[in-house]
Chain A
């Protein structure tokens, strides 16, 4: 059940309606049932994995809470319990997500030695959202181990923490302190708060706008540019536009999904963490990762980078840690070399940023460049955006070979394609481009306002009654008319579902 499917548009109001009228004490049970129904609508069998991960981390949490603080043995036991949770969860992830890739790598290595091991014996469909809920559940185990949160005794409440449907399949990857804490007080939430409901709905509508008007429309052009059987025919500006549109697509797709999730949570009185803070306004790659998929980058920081030693063990070790984190992040996004290279590119850029920090500071001093000036920030944003967009090519491509070809083909001088109508041969009409440009203006305006500390939901709440309803009605109508959906069109899967 995708957020942009009719099933969800029926499912969500029904779930909310019942959630609002049932007794407070059973709210979490209802949301748990709804969440499992939501997940099972994709593939009922894979709910077993979700349940398995939940049971393992729940029991590990209980066992950790029973280890005595002063007992010297308990420290060792606690480590064993955490290791058990990590091994089981990552084993599930490996089997269902990485086994095929691992097998192909092994086959390729052994093949060079003249040994053939044939095709992978397992052919499994990647369970939706597996990387998200496994990371969330593992994060909980580590939080309990570190004593940052008390182990949850109520299994059903904990199961809801792992499976809460708005953020189950594509994040944000919630922290136990935030979401579990909120779920523990679920019976105290005053649901009939008109301001909160209103804000939640507006955030959801904005998410649908990003997803259905921008991301799915840009995706049509991008799909043509990256089509495996015909991509080699495209050159120059046609390809550059495809690369830029993919940067737009992936942001609006993922941020759109997150806004829908956050808005849905808000309607139900459950706040989810911010996952995007205007990432293309980043002035460096480091800044980009503080703004992009924040729940994942902070997860890696808290549970991988810092345990590896972070920046505490010298510069070389810091660079190594950064590279490890970004390579793992690449692998998290997908089982393929091109994802690893994408992560590696960000790692290298981060390391270079760190290494050249001193030189850049000196250069700025000598050239009298005022870093606080907005013109300087603009150039930094532009350079960061270009670098990030080049890296996205590896992310979007089907293989390393294709990524390199696309980049190579983008270097050609044919600016006439921008005006001679050639661009309309890639699935988008003149009207589609007009809509895309208009929507882009809205996106940039909202992002600038957010950058300056305003919020769309806050602004909306302050408006008069008639304006508010009219605005909502027009926004929904615009999505219905200009959104990409319908017969003959398969609701494009949210890109992040498969990670």
Chain B
């Protein structure tokens, strides 16, 4: 074999080798491409899988929370908590007068009458067991959402140290309360840290009610749009004993602390604050007459407090005769007036110019 032939053969074999390499390379490329495609497909599948899981969870949680909110509403103790529900429905800055305080307030004042007969655009934000501390936050809520011209506070609870009475009373106050700054501040201040969660997720309090639900629980319960309390129940009451007007005593420390805060809040927001104490009888709770008179001495002490703070205060224990209660007709129990007594007091308050 000549050198040329040898070189030619070698070059051929090299070419062949190159061809083979090329073939291998091509195969490799195809394989790589397939692998890449496979990987990309896997990645795509994996991404789709993740998306599927996340989407399923999100949809499930959203639907579940929706159903849960409906179930929570059914389980809630609505008749007692509906005042706040109605308040939440009000258009912002649409009310001029707000009433705060405890049951003596909503049993004594008829906001529907005030609006209908006297043209006073008002709302009854008093709730059962609303302590002075809670009234302070009710005022804060009212100012935040309605900014009324006047707030009328019934001061029956200045005799107590309580900031909250019990879970039930607190839930009546908080459950329907619109989501606002005042609500959060009130919960942080008045509720024990370990129980706060039940005011944001109130099922913790009400979930056991499922075994005692009635028809009303399934309805979209709304009572008076102005928060009126109405009861026709009538009992025989006893004439109310009244202490001498000059006998006074200071209110409790807790009540004083929150009254001071309330006065400052109203001044700061240029809202007129008017105080009054509604008359009631105490025999209902088997409470001694002497203790009852002690309580009245504290109400008398409010004259001085009001004067010091430039507030208007009316102690209606001393106007019982003028109101002219019919003890066999105007009360639903010894402490609270029924709808007849409520109308009587409401008219009296307007005629005297206390509510205007």
Contact = CB atoms under 8 A, between A and B. Distances in A.
Interface of A: 6, 192, 194, 197, 429, 431, 469, 472-473, 476-477, 480-483, 485-488
B203 interface: yes
B198 A192 contact: no
A486 B211 contact: no
13 contacts: A192-B50, A194-B53, A194-B56, A472-B60, A480-B68, A480-B203, A480-B207, A481-B71, A482-B207, A485-B204, A486-B205, A487-B198, A487-B205
Contact of A476 (B64, B195, B201, B210): B64
B21 interface: no
Contacts, number: 50
A487 B207 contact: no
Contacts of A481: 71, 75, 207, 210
B267 to A, nearest CB: 36
B41 interface: no
Interface string B190-233: 00000101100101110110110000000000000000000000
Nearest to A484: B208
B210 A482 contact: yes
Given A477-B71, A480-B203, A192 B49 contact: yes
B184 interface: no
Contacts of B46: 192
Given A473-B64, A486-B198, A487-B205, 16 more contacts: A6-B197, A6-B201, A192-B46, A469-B60, A473-B67, A477-B64, A480-B68, A480-B71, A480-B203, A481-B75, A482-B207, A485-B204, A486-B205, A486-B208, A487-B198, A488-B167
A422 to B, nearest CB: 20
Interface in B19-73: 46, 49-50, 52-53, 56, 60, 63-64, 67-68, 71
A438 B98 CA distance: 50
Nearest to A486: B204
Chain A CB within 10 Å — which of B50, B67, B75, B208 has the most? Answer: B208
Contacts of A429: 211
B211 A431 contact: yes
A486 B207 contact: yes
B162 to A, nearest CB: 18
Contacts of B207: 480-483, 485-486
Nearest to B171: A487
Nearest to B52: A194
Contact of A487 (B60, B67, B167, B210): B167
Contact of B60 (A473, A477, A480): A473
Interface in B155-188: 167
A473 B63 contact: yes
A472 B63 CA distance: 12
Given A473-B63, A487-B167, A197 B205 contact: no
Closest 9 CB pairs of A and B: A486-B204, A431-B211, A487-B198, A487-B205, A481-B210, A487-B204, A192-B50, A481-B207, A192-B49
A486 B206 CA distance: 8
A416 to B, nearest CB: 25
Contacts of A486: 198, 203-205, 207-208
Nearest to A482: B210
Contacts of B210: 481-482
Contacts of B211: 429, 431
A377 B71 CA distance: 45
Nearest to B210: A481
Contacts of A472: 60
A197 B68 contact: no
Interface string B71-105: 10001000000000000000000000000000000
A9 to B, nearest CB: 10
Nearest to A201: B57
Contacts of B208: 486
A475 to B, nearest CB: 11
A486 B71 CA distance: 16
A431 B210 CA distance: 10
Contact of B53 (A197, A476, A482, A487): A197
A268 B75 CA distance: 35
A44 B201 CA distance: 28
Contacts of A476: 64
A398 B96 CA distance: 63
A433 to B, nearest CB: 11
Given A6-B197, A487-B167, A477 B67 contact: yes
Contacts of A197: 53
Contacts of A487: 167, 195, 198, 204-205
B49 A194 contact: yes
B217 to A, nearest CB: 13
B171 to A, nearest CB: 9
